[in-house]
Amino acid sequence: MSLPRTFGDALALARGQVPASEARLLLREASGASAAAIVGFPERALAPDAAARFTAWIARRAAGEPVAYILGEREFYGRRFAVSPDVLIPRPETELLVEQALARIPDGTADVLDLGTGSGAIAITLALEAPQARVTAVDISPAALAVARSNAEQLGGQVRWREGSWFSGVAGERFDLVVSNPPYVASEDPHLLAGDVRFEPRGALASGPEGLDDIRAIAGAAPDALNAGGWLLLEHGYDQGDAARAILISAGFVEVATAQDLAGLDRVSFGRLP
C-alpha cells in the first residue's frame, strides 16, 4: 500500500475510518506538526516515517483501540499521563474528584490516600497541587503501580506507593482524606462491551451486579482508616448518587452529599467521619 505524501492525503486516508478530530490528533502526534498547519496546509509534505506511523495508528484506531493506548498517554488536569492497557484511561469527570479533594485538604500537613490509583492520575495531581499533603496510593495491580511510579518520576509528584486490595495496602494507618475512583460498572452492563471500555482492564471497571460492591467495601472499611473529622470521597456512576449516599450514611458518615460533574450528572459522593 502506498503511504500518504501530504497532510491532506493523510486526512483523506483516515476519512470514514476514524472521526476527523481523532485523525487530526493522530496526525499531529505522528508528524510533530501543529494543529493549524495540519488543517491550513493540506499540500505540505508528510515525511515517510511519519506517514508510516500515522497509517499504522489509523488501522489500530479503526480496529477499536483507544487513542490513549495508541499514543500511550492522556491528559488529566493539565498534565500528560502515560497510560497502558494495564490502567484505566483517566476521564475528564474524575477531575471533579480531584477538585473536591483539594477543597478538603487543609493548609497544614494532611495525610491523603488514593485507593485503586491506576495510572496515578489522582494521587500525582493531588501531590502536585497540594504539596503540603502527604499522599499515599494503593493498587492491587503491580503492573498499574509500575505505570503510576513512572508517571510520578516524569511529572515530579511525591507519592508513597503500596500494593494491596483497598485498605489492606495500608493496614493500621489512618488518613485525613481518602479518595477513590473504584470500579463501579455493573458486571452485566453492555457498556463494558462497547467502545474504548472493551480495551480497558475489567478489574478497574466492573464491580458486582449493581456496580456497587467496591463502593460498599471501601465505605464499610473507611471509618477504621480515617482520623476523626476525616473525609471519604468516592467517584461513581451517574445513576448511583442515591445508592452511594445511602451506603455512606449506613457506614456512619455525616455531612453526606453528592457533587455533579460538568455534564450536570451525579459523579462524586462524600461524607465526613464524626
Annotated binding site for S-adenosyl-L-methionine: 116-120, 139, 166, 181
Q: State the virtual CA torsion across 241, 244, 250, 254 in degrees, nearest 10.
A: -70
Q: Which is nearer to ligand GLN, 55 or 125 (by Cβ)? A: 125
Q: How far is the CB of 273 from ligand GLN (least distance, A)?
A: 23
Annotated binding-site positions for substrate: 181-184
Q: Which is nearer to ligand GLN, 146 or 265 (by Cβ)? A: 265
Q: How far is the CB of 245 from ligand GLN (least distance, A)?
A: 18
Q: How far is the CB of 205 from ligand GLN (least distance, A)?
A: 5
Q: Which is nearer to ligand GLN, 19 or 92 (by Cβ)? A: 92
Q: How far is the CB of 268 from ligand GLN (least distance, A)?
A: 11
Annotated binding-site positions: 116-120, 139, 166, 181-184
79 - beta bridge partners?
76
Closest CA to 48 of 9, 77, 79: 9
Give the single-character DSSP code of 194. S
Q: How far is the CB of 13 from ligand GLN (least distance, A)?
A: 30
Largest CA distance in the chain: 67
Whether the Cβ atoms of residue 131 and residue 102 lie closer than 8 Å to each other: no
Query: H or E segment at 28?
Result: helix 20-31
Q: Which is nearer to ligand GLN, 27 or 124 (by Cβ)? A: 124
Tell me the residue type at 12: A
Closest CA to 89 of 100, 78, 71, 73: 73
Q: Which is nearer to ligand GLN, 117 or 181 (by Cβ)? A: 181
Tell me the residue type at 85: P
Q: Which is nearer to ligand GLN, 7 or 184 (by Cβ)? A: 184
Q: How far is the CB of 18 from ligand GLN (least distance, A)?
A: 20
Binding site for ligand GLN (CB under 6 A): 91, 181, 183-185, 197, 205
Which grid cell is 39? Answer: 488543517
Closest CA to 247 of 228, 266, 221: 221
- 12: Cβ–Cβ under 8 A, 6 or more apart, which residues? 4
CA distance 44 to 137: 46
